[in-house]
Amino acid sequence: MSLVTLLPFIVLIGAMFLMTRSAKKKQQQAAQMRDSMQPGTGVRTIGGMYATVKELHDDTVLLEVAPGVHAIYAKNAIGAVLDDDEYNRIVHGDAQVADEETPVVPDDASSLTGSDDSAASDAPKIDLGKKPESEETGSTDAADEPKDGKGDSDK
């Protein structure tokens, strides 16, 4: 056998090794993250629910999902362990930086146009409604002809 025939197999084995290595790294990081949990820590489950850790057991964790509401979850169901600032910002809506100014959003779009109310009221109103047939302009001959292009004489 030549090296050229073995090259695809060598590349395939190398790619499989790299993929399993990165997956193993991710699993180790997730296990380390779950081991860093302590009672009082804010967490996000893999389902997207935010809760506070109350008790830790071997394979399970007791979470407080609301004041006085507790649920038991598998440790593998914890998607992220959050630091206190991030947890409070997400769950309680606490501002991260008090000095940061939030933009003021108007209740309506009239303040965004930049024109006075008096100038806007003087402008003529545009009628977007459909006009009755008697007011429409144009030739009456075109309106009387059928859409197939045949007149009365062509029938």
Are 50 and 43 in contact, with CB atoms under 8 Å apart?
yes
21 is written with which tokens? 């290595």
Going residue by residue through the chain (155 aa), what tens digit of pLDDT does each one get?
677 888 888 899 998 988 888 888 888 888 888 878 889 889 999 999 999 999 998 889 999 999 899 999 998 899 888 888 888 888 878 655 444 566 677 677 666 666 555 555 667 777 788 877 766 555 555 555 556 656 555 55
CA separation for the pair 18, 81 (Å, rounded): 27
Give the predicted TM-score (pTM) of the model: 0.48
